[in-house]
Structures are given as structure tokens and as C-alpha cells.
Structure 1
Amino acid sequence: MSKSIRQRLFAALAGFTVLLCLCYTGLALVIAYVTEDMLVQRLLEREAAVVSQHLRQHGELTPSGNDLIKTYVNYHDLPQVVREQVLPSAPRGEVFTTTGQHYHVLALDLVAAGKPQRSYLLADVAPVLVVQRLAREVGGVVLGVALALIALALLLAYWLARRLVLPLQRLAQEARQLAPGSAVHFSERDRPDEIGFLARRLETTFAELQAVLQREQAFARDVSHELRTPLTLMHNTLALAEAQPLGGQEQAQLRQSTDEMRATIDVLFALARAEQLPGEVVELRGCMEQCLLRLLDEHPWDASLLTLDLPERLDVAGNVQLVMLLINNCLANALFHGGPDCRISIAFAQGHLNIVNTVQAGQPRRVHGFAHGQNLLLRLAQAMRWDIAFHPGATQYRVAIVPTQA
């Protein structure tokens, strides 16, 4: 396709060059012939003025003093070849012959002896015509120079076509060589013209497409990975229900698996839409308070075990939906691993938000689904360009979050 563009551009430039050359050549010929005819006509008019003046002064029509111009009193005295091409009523005329003569005729309306009289001036201008003589004598040189100039113009048109289309060819070649998942960079992106704008737009478009594909792949992988455990538990619990009614523990497992699936699905959809969610200034303390109220509504936990140390107002850069999901999952994990009697401490200092939950000594560590949860929390933080780190210990578990300052 790029080669076709170069060929078409070269054809357009070459055609324009040849057409311009032909037009100027034709215009030059027209100007030369018109100038030649005007010169001859001027000579006839000057001779007509001399003849008219002599007639007025001396009362007789004398022959012309110019060897090229003859005076004829009557129309019938003109040569036959002239009479065949010029009518008696015509004021002037130009006669071409096959014998080498080239005539110009000018009619004179004079008054002789008180009577109007029409006479004629006939000029054989073949000896003074220069355009045809120049064409015969230097026509070959002019034609050679014209052909050389046309060849030079065609070479220039080819060079221009190649130079103008080369950035587009390079851009198309780089776009053709792009591999899925590779870094997108076009060498023409720094140009200040439309090609540079096109390269930058293509970079952005390709990067967005790759990001969309990566999010789609991650979403499919996460759906398969994160939902498998709760689905297996629900399937096994329902399979046991066929043999005996569900007890309180089994119902609690079903509710827990359902809650876990709902939370996981919310996180997965939020991550899938992370590129479309607008960034904004988020009041982190308000989000934290809303998440704590939701935690108290959904879980039987004593609020007196909470320690909260946050500034009166804490503005960060992020997205409200992702921030709420991140905090909700961190608090739910803290309660899940610490148990209903754990203490939870939330503090913000030196740009770090620390969520700490106590773990009873000797209590077996509950790891159901927690590795998967860490992965999702990491991706939630990365979607907002936050940092998050997990610090397990024997008596407490701490999650350190470094939000982006507004």
C-alpha cells in the first residue's frame, strides 16, 4: 500500500511537471507569433499613415517606399491567391500560401478628388518572419534543453515522492512489525507535522488496545483462579446437603463463600474497568469511616476493639470505587484472620496508612483464599499507582498502604 502511495504521488508530480512545461512552451509560442503579427501590423499602419498623408498633400496615391509593402488601388489588382482568401469588405487579412509567400493585407479607405476610394497595402513578410526561422535553426537545441529540464523535473519529482512518503512507509513498517505485548514506539512520533501526530495517536491507540487485551486476559485468568475455591466449597456443601440437612456451620460456610464471591467479582470488574474509571481527589478518612460502618453491619464485631488515628481530613489521588474496594477487602481480611475478638488499629503517619489486626497466639493461621486476596489487593493498588505491602507476624498482621498524595 505504501509503494502504491509513492507511485501515485510520483505520477501526480510528474504529470504536473510535464503539463506545466507544455503549457509554458505553448504560451511562449503564442506570445512569439502574436508579437510577430503585431510588429507586421504596426509596419502596415505606419505605411498607411505615410500614404494617406501624401495623398492629402499632393492629391495622388504614390507607391510605397518599402520594398516589402506594395500599394494597390483596386481590389482586382491584388494577386489571385490573396483575393481567394480575403474578401473586398475585410479591413485586413493574413494569407498563407504553399509557394513560400506570407501576405498581410490592410485596406485603406481614402478620399481622392472628393470621392471615397478603397486602396490596399500588401506586405510579403516571409523574409522578416523570425519564429519559424528560429524553430528551424535552434529548434533542436531548444528541444534538447526542454527534454533535459523535463528529465531533471522527473528526477526531482521522484526524489520528492520518495522523501515525502518515506516517513509513512517507515510508520507502516513499524506498525506491521508490532508484536502483541511488545513496547509501542514509533520513530516518527517527534515530528512536528501531521505524520508525528499520526504516530503519537497510533502509539496511544496500540497501547490502549494492548492494555485492553491484558485486562481481558487478566480478568479471564482471575475469574478462573479466584472463584474456583468458593465454588468448590459451595459445591461440596450442597453435595453433603443431599445426605443430611445443612447445619449452622455449613450454612455459615455457604454465606461466607457467597460473600467472598461477591467481593471477588466486585474487585474483578473494578480492575477490568480500571482504565475507564476517572482519577480524582478522594477524602480517605471519609472512605475509611464508610467501610468501618459497613464492616460493623455485616460482621458481629465489637467496635470498642477499634483504634482509629487519622487526620481530620486526608485527601489522596485515586478513585472512590477502587479505594472503597481496597479498604473493604483489607478490613474483611483483618477480621477473617484475626477472628471476632481481634483488635484492629488504623493509623496514618508519614504518608503510610497502616491497618493492623491482632492474631491470637497459638491460633492456626487461616489461609483460605488469602493468597488470592493479596494478589487482587496488589492489583487494586497498582491500578491507582499506590503501593501496598503485607507484613505477617506471630501476634499481629499489618498491611501498609502508601497512597498517592493529591
Structure 2
Amino acid sequence: MLKPKGLRAYTTGLLVAFTLIFSSLFLAVGVLTAYIVEDTIIMRLVGAQVDQIEQSLAQGESPQLNAKQRLYTEAEDIPSAWQAIILKYPSGELFTDTEDHYHFQHLSTPSGDFAVLVVEVSEVLVVTESPRAFIIFVVVFAVMVLVAVGVALKIANRVTKPVLDLSTAVAQRALVTEPMPDLPFELKQLASNFEASFSKIEQMLQRERDFTTDVGHELKTPLTAFNNLLVIASGRPLSSAEVEQLGRINADLANTVEVLLALAREESLTKQPVNVMACIEQLAIDQPQVVAGEFSIALTGDRSVVIQGNPVLTKLLFLNVIQNAIRHADSPQLNIDIAADRIVLANSAASRKQLDFMAPGVRDETSTGVGQGLYLVRRIAEKLALRVELNLGNEQFEIVFHIN
């Protein structure tokens, strides 16, 4: 697997290698084409001279030859070094150890006799005999290769930059919470998927941290009370009041564990409309004390009010408030008023100390609970994005949930 920083070097190497290989092939094809074109032109020139000589012979005239042309009418007259090639092929090239270069072509005479024209063509060679032109070609080609390599480097940087930016953003995400960069093409969707995955992981880790903290804070007090009663029970039978207290502690533990698990689940993040009055009405008729007439709940307000939240957490929120009121209220009645921007739950109460009942473990000296009920209410409300306000005064114990 490539290291992130090696991707640019790897891509650059591939593009540069491709450019050099392609350029070398182009050079080879260009040089080969130049030789072929040069030979073709020379053969046509020689062919034109052959046509003139054949025309002169057909008219019975003696052909006019220049210093570069040799006409052999007898095979024996051909230099021995050339005989094998000339007698074997109708036309072609003759190479020598000197700078001279020859082309030959057989003639068609009126009498059908043997005749071949050999022409020295070194003066008309361009590719072979003009090193200056070849050097210019090579220099121009080298410049073009350098330009192509530069373009390849720019292309490699441009192609790999989004991937490297994404890799850097992913690596830094573990240290700093920053949004993913805006990337082009399919990388934008990939970055979005990374962003969603990181968000889920962060939420999961936060829920795990919250659960660990909550368990440490919220179960310590009830477990201590539970252990104290067990110590008492080992020495003597528990009184009816202590047995009742043990039952309340057990119920508080069960409720606390249920709330903590609900807060820790990923499903708690799923939101949907929840009708507040319908939810509270269902909770009210599920309370044995309400059914038995030992406690009453007066429910007023707008029946159409809904909040966006998880249905299970919403139910646990109001259930905890109702059960706290049933257990600890000075009077057996809870008044609930529902409006579009707030939900008010209140009951009459004697003057109480100004304590932060929303903090863990805080309870009135007259309370027989473990001081976790309203703290759990606050934790659930935070999860549901509801602002909680606790009002103590005028012989009222009032909790207000402000709907954002």
C-alpha cells in the first residue's frame, strides 16, 4: 500500500516515465520516417534519370551522363563489391566505406540487353549527411521533452492534490475537529462519507464517555444506600419503612439504568414528531396511584403541540417528572400546562431551600430518594434540545421545558 506522501511521487514517476517512453518512441518513429522519406525522394530522382536514359536509348541516342552517374551495360563491368546486390535486386542502395553513397536501378532497354544506372547521391542526403540539421532536431526534441515533463509534473500535482488534501484532512481529524475540504468530482462524495462516518464515530464515543460518567455518578449513591440497608439487614430484620425504602431504591436503580441505556443508544439521536399531550395522557393512565385516585394530574393547554425528539426519551422525560411528583410532592396533584413554546409542570410545595435539584445527588432533607430523579430529567432534556428551568417559590415547585 502506498504511503499518502508517496502518492504524488508515484503518480509523477508514472507520468514522467510515460512521457519519456512516448517521446522516445516518437523520436524513433520520426527518425525512421525521415530516412524512409529521404530514400523515397532519392529513388524517385533516380527513377526520373532512368526514364530519361531509357527515352534516349529508345530514340537511338547516346544518353548524356554527368559525373555522378554510371551506366553499366555489362555485368562484368560492375565492381565486384556491388555485383551480388545489383544482380539480385531491381533497385536499391549501395553502401561504401567512404562518405560516398549510391543508389541503383535497372533499365529497360529496347533490345532487352542488361543495363543498370548507379548514381552517387551523397550530396542530396539530408538526414544522413547533415549533422547540423539532425542536432537542431534533437535539441528541439529535447526542449519539447522537458516541456512535456514539466506538464506531466503539473498534471501529477493537480491530480494528486485533492487526494492528498483528503488524506491530510483525515489524518488531522483525529487531532482537530475541522470540516472536510471541498473536493472535486467523486472525491467530494467520498469526503462527505468520511465526514458522516467521523460524526457517527464522534457521537458514539461521546455517548460512551457520557454513559461511563453517568454510571459513575448516578449509580454510586443508590448503590451506597442499598449496601447500607444490606448491612442493617445482616444484623436485624428490616422495618417496614426500611423495606419500603429498599423498594424505592430498587425502583430508582431500574429507572436510572433504563434512562442511561436510552441515552447511550444510537437510536436516541433519531428524531420524529411527538405529540406532548397524547404522550402525557398515556403516562398518566399507566400510573397506579392515578388510577387508584391517590394522585391526580390536571392536564391543560394546546393538544396540537409536538416536539421533535426520540419517542422513548420523550416518554422517559415526562415519566420521571410524574413519578418524582408522585413520590415527593407535598400535595397529591400535578398541574401540567402545554403551550407552543413551553411545557410547565407544577405542584404546590412548602417553602424549600434554594438547591440545585438538577445536579446529581442533590435532594431535600425531607426526601427519601437518592437525589437522581431531576438530574436524569435534565440529562434527557439536553438530549432532546429542551431548555429546563426550575422555579421554587410562592409555595410552588415548577419545572418549565422551553421548546426551541
TM-score by shorter chain over 0.5: yes
Distance change >3 Å, CA 301–CA 285, structure 1 → 2 = same
Larger deviation, residues 196-205 vs 225-234: 196-205
**1:63–1:71: 8 Å Cα contact kept in structure 2?**
no
Counterpart check, 1:381 vs 2:381: yes
How far apart are residue 374 of structure 1 and its match? 3.1
Q: What is the aligned partner in structure 1 of residue 80 from structure 2?
A: 80
Amino acid corresponding to residue 332 of structure 2 in structure 1: C
d(CA) in 2 for partners of 1:275, 1:81? 97
**2:249–2:370: 8 Å Cα contact kept in structure 1?**
no
Q: What is the aligned partner in structure 1 of residue 232 from structure 2?
A: 240
Scaled by the length of structure 1, what TM-score is found?
Answer: 0.83
Q: What is the aligned partner in structure 2 of residue 20 from structure 1?
A: 22
Amino acid corresponding to residue 70 of structure 1 in structure 2: R
Amino acid corresponding to residue 208 of structure 2 in structure 1: E
**2:268–2:310: 8 Å Cα contact kept in structure 1?**
no
Q: What is the aligned partner in structure 1 of residue 367 from structure 2?
A: 366
Q: What is the aligned partner in structure 2 of residue 31 from structure 1?
A: 33
Q: What is the aligned partner in structure 1 of residue 213 from structure 2?
A: 221
Amino acid corresponding to residue 318 of structure 2 in structure 1: I
**2:320–2:374: 8 Å Cα contact kept in structure 1?**
no
Q: 1:211 aligns with which of 203, 206, 209?
A: 203
d(CA) in 1 for partners of 2:248, 2:135? 100
Aligned partner of residue 246 in structure 1, secondary structure: coil
Q: 1:354 aligns with which of 324, 344, 348?
A: 344
What are the within-5 Å matches in structure 2 for residues 177-196 of structure 1?
177-178=172-173, 182-186=176-180, 189-194=181-186, 196=188
d(CA) in 2 for partners of 1:395, 1:50? 133
Amino acid corresponding to residue 50 of structure 1 in structure 2: Q
Counterpart check, 1:42 vs 2:44: yes
How far apart are residue 226 of structure 1 and its match? 0.8
d(CA) in 1 for partners of 2:148, 2:94? 40
What are the within-5 Å matches in structure 2 for residues 2-401 of structure 1?
2-55=4-57, 57-58=58-59, 60=60, 62-63=62-63, 65=65, 67-88=67-88, 90-109=89-108, 112=111, 116-134=112-130, 136-158=131-153, 161-162=156-157, 165=160, 168-169=163-164, 172-173=167-168, 175-178=170-173, 182-186=176-180, 189-194=181-186, 196-274=188-266, 277-294=269-286, 296-297=287-288, 302=293, 305-338=296-329, 341-360=331-350, 365-366=366-367, 368-370=369-371, 372-393=372-393, 395-401=395-401
Amino acid corresponding to residue 358 of structure 1 in structure 2: S
Amino acid corresponding to residue 126 of structure 1 in structure 2: S
How far apart are residue 380 of structure 1 and its match? 1.7
C-alpha offsets along residues 336-366 of structure 1, whole Å, 9 cap, x if unaligned?
2205x42111111242111112225689642
C-alpha offsets along residues 314-350 of structure 1, whole Å, 9 cap, x if unaligned?
33321111111111111112222205x4211111124
How far apart are residue 222 of structure 1 and its match? 0.6
Amino acid corresponding to residue 70 of structure 2 in structure 1: K
How far apart are residue 223 of structure 1 and its match? 0.8
d(CA) in 1 for partners of 2:200, 2:186? 21
d(CA) in 2 for partners of 1:145, 1:20? 16
C-alpha offsets along residues 146-194 of structure 1, whole Å, 9 cap, x if unaligned?
44444454455445545655555555555545566x53345xx234445
How far apart are residue 123 of structure 1 and its match? 2.4
Q: What is the aligned partner in structure 1 of residue 361 from structure 2?
A: none
**1:44–1:106: 8 Å Cα contact kept in structure 2?**
yes
**2:162–2:183: 8 Å Cα contact kept in structure 1?**
no
Larger deviation, residues 328-337 vs 143-152: 143-152
How far apart are residue 18 of structure 1 and its match? 2.2
C-alpha offsets along residues 220-259 of structure 1, whole Å, 9 cap, x if unaligned?
1111111112222222222222233333322222221121
d(CA) in 2 for partners of 1:397, 1:3? 63
Distance change >3 Å, CA 64–CA 345, structure 1 → 2 = farther
d(CA) in 1 for partners of 2:294, 2:279? 17
Amino acid corresponding to residue 270 of structure 2 in structure 1: P
RMSD: 3.2
**2:348–2:397: 8 Å Cα contact kept in structure 1?**
yes
**1:64–1:70: 8 Å Cα contact kept in structure 2?**
no
d(CA) in 2 for partners of 1:64, 1:326? 120
Distance change >3 Å, CA 21–CA 54, structure 1 → 2 = same
**1:63–1:70: 8 Å Cα contact kept in structure 2?**
no
d(CA) in 2 for partners of 1:292, 1:28? 93
> Identical aligned pairs, as a percentage?
27
Mark the runs of 5 or more structure 2 residues left unpaired by the alignment: 353-363
How far apart are residue 48 of structure 1 and its match? 3.4
Scaled by the length of structure 2, what TM-score is found?
Answer: 0.83
How far apart are residue 260 of structure 1 and its match? 1.1
How far apart are residue 403 of structure 1 and its match? 3.6
**1:44–1:123: 8 Å Cα contact kept in structure 2?**
yes
